[in-house]
């Protein structure tokens, strides 16, 4: 797959321009008011019914650190120092704060904090394709009708933020999910698992694209433009609704439904202000920003903490651009020099910061990729895709720190103890969010389906 630099473009079609035209009545531009371009969605895609069952009273949050492209378990949290050279690689294991638990030498700060997190070494599934595997990990279900490089569609399963939004609708201007700092798309391939799938665009998480480490980073559509106060905004909303009522033909177009939802959320956010402040990283003390690292990895994690702090239930941080961790060649210098040091620093700071602020006890932090890497190093000194065995790091929300769950075989190829699927990861996520495992949602044909069919990974909490 191409490794060219991923760039985002905003494309606007004629009928979208019609919608954007009357949004000017708000006194804001389309990009300021609504961020990403309005995504296409048919009326059928918005026909999902209401939830059949609801959440439990307890509410916690989930912060997903997604290593897009899939980090090697052999070279991070499941090192095999006794394996042959073509398996064990170039890195040495180091001791952690947990006796007997050893991880990669290039993760010293996480080694010092091993008593705060658990590692599962036996995550497993049967796919070796990025898109299908990403969908499985980020939704807790296999991609319906999945095949090699099947792009995102409204037939997909909803991701965790969408499931949360459906069962527990957002309130007070706070969305149920925010993904940052990049959207996983390359050329014609759009990664599934990033939106609400068959639940429809109403439940899509917010997508933020931009490097939080840049001095000019801002999310314009979360703030009121100069000279526009809340009273004037409300007056313009009434006017907008009157015009909308006269545009019934336009409303029949699929995008119109999403546009109206975006308008309502934008109004709610702009009049509340709390979420807007969360994006103001310049309000953080310089020392805090430095602890996370003044790089995209670190500042994205800091932004995620700020979003959790204001009440966003599900935040996903894509650590790296598309397939950053997909190291088919020269894996060792890439990990040693570019990837592991900023990840180590940022994750250590995140765990410290959330613990000190009292956020960790109510937030599940999980770090994983879509699969693992092959045991044998290939001819290009890299490792290829490997679904049968990979790792996940979990902390907070009752997770017992210092816990190493599962064991892989001598070369890290297959689990020798119980394997846990992405379905089980999904069950665990919903368990933390207070959403019962038997929660039923409605698909595009209004058929009742269980939101998740996995089992909670009980050893995490035991």
Q: Which of 173-177, 419-423, 427-431 has the lowest mean pLDDT?
A: 173-177
Residues 440 and 411 in one domain: yes
pLDDT tens per residue across span 439-450: 999 988 899 999
Average pLDDT in the chain: 83
Residue carrying structure tokens 């308008």: 263
Task: Name residue 395's beta-bridge partners.
Answer: 117, 365
Domain membership of residue 193 (yes or no) is yes
Domain membership of residue 288 (yes or no) is yes
Supply the pTM of this predicted model: 0.82
Give one word for 149, left, alpha or beta, with left for phi > 0 and alpha for psi -120 to 50: left
pLDDT level of residue 427 (50, 70, 90 thresholds):
very high
CA-nearest of 253, 250, 266 to 25 is 266
Residues 344 and 399 in one domain: yes
What CATH number has the domain bearing residue 434? 3.40.720.10
Q: Whole domain around residue 259: which residue ranges?
A: 12-41+229-278
Residues 233 and 375 in one domain: no
Residues 252 and 391 in one domain: no
Residues 272 and 286 in one domain: no
CA-nearest of 295, 294, 292, 293 to 305 is 292
pLDDT level of residue 260 (50, 70, 90 thresholds):
low
> What pLDDT sits at residue 218?
83
pLDDT tens per residue across span 217-232: 988 656 555 554 555 5
Residue finishing a domain among 237, 256, 278: 278
> What pLDDT sits at residue 36?
35
Domain membership of residue 3 (yes or no) is no
Number of separate domains in the chain: 2
Domain membership of residue 46 (yes or no) is no
Domain membership of residue 1 (yes or no) is no
Residue finishing a domain among 261, 278, 295: 278
Domain membership of residue 6 (yes or no) is no
- Gap between the Cα atoms of 240 and 381, Å rounded: 59
pLDDT at residue 151 is higher than 90: yes
Domain membership of residue 35 (yes or no) is yes
pLDDT tens per residue across span 386-414: 999 999 999 999 999 999 999 999 999 99
Residues 268 and 123 in one domain: no
> What pLDDT sits at residue 13?
36
Domain membership of residue 189 (yes or no) is yes
- Mean per-residue pLDDT for 324-349? 98
CA-nearest of 167, 170, 155 to 200 is 155
Residues 234 and 369 in one domain: no
Residues 295 and 233 in one domain: no
């Amino acid at each position: 797959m191409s490794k060219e630099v991923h760039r985002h473009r905003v494309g606007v079609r004629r009928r979208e321009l019609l919608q954007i035209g009357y949004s000017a009545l708000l006194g804001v531009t389309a990009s300021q008011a609504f961020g990403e371009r309005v995504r296409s969605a048919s009326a059928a895609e918005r026909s999902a019914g209401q939830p059949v069952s609801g959440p439990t009273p307890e509410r916690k949050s989930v912060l997903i650190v997604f290593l897009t492209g899939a980090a090697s378990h052999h070279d991070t949290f499941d090192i095999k120092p006794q394996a042959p050279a073509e398996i064990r690689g170039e890195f040495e294991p180091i001791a952690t704060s947990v006796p007997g638990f050893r991880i990669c030498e290039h993760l010293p700060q996480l080694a010092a904090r091993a008593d705060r997190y658990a590692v599962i070494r036996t995550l497993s599934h049967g796919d070796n394709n990025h898109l299908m595997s990403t969908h499985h990990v980020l939704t807790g279900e296999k991609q319906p009708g999945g095949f090699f490089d099947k792009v995102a569609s409204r037939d997909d399963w909803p991701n965790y933020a969408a499931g949360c939004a459906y069962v527990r609708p957002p309130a007070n201007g706070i969305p149920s999910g925010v993904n940052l700092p990049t959207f996983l798309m390359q050329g014609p391939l759009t990664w599934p698992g990033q939106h609400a799938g068959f639940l429809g665009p109403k439940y899509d998480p917010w997508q933020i694209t931009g490097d939080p480490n840049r001095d000019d980073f801002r999310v314009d559509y979360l703030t009121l433009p100069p000279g526009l106060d809340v009273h004037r905004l409300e007056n313009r909303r009434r006017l907008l609704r009157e015009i909308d009522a006269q545009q019934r033909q336009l409303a029949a177009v699929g995008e119109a439904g999403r546009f109206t939802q975006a308008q309502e959320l934008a109004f709610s956010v702009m009049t509340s202000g709390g979420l807007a402040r969360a994006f103001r990283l310049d309000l953080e003390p310089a020392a805090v920003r430095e602890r996370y690292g003044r790089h995209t990895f670190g500042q994205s994690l800091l932004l995620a903490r700020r979003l959790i702090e204001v009440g966003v239930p599900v935040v996903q941080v894509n650590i790296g651009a598309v397939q950053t961790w997909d190291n088919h060649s020269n894996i060792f210098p890439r990990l040693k020099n570019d990837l592991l040091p900023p990840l180590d620093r940022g994750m250590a700071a995140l765990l410290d910061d959330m613990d000190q602020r009292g956020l960790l006890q109510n937030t599940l932090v999980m770090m994983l990729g879509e699969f693992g890497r092959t045991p044998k190093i290939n001819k290009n000194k890299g490792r290829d895709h490997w679904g049968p065995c990979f790792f996940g790091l979990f902390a907070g929300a009752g997770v017992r720190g210092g816990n190493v769950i599962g064991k892989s075989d001598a070369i890290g190829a297959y689990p020798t103890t119980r394997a846990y699927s992405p379905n089980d990861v999904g069950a665990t996520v919903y368990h933390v969010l207070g959403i019962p495992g038997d929660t039923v949602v409605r698909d595009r044909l209004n058929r009742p389906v269980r939101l998740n069919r996995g089992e909670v990974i009980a050893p995490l909490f035991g």
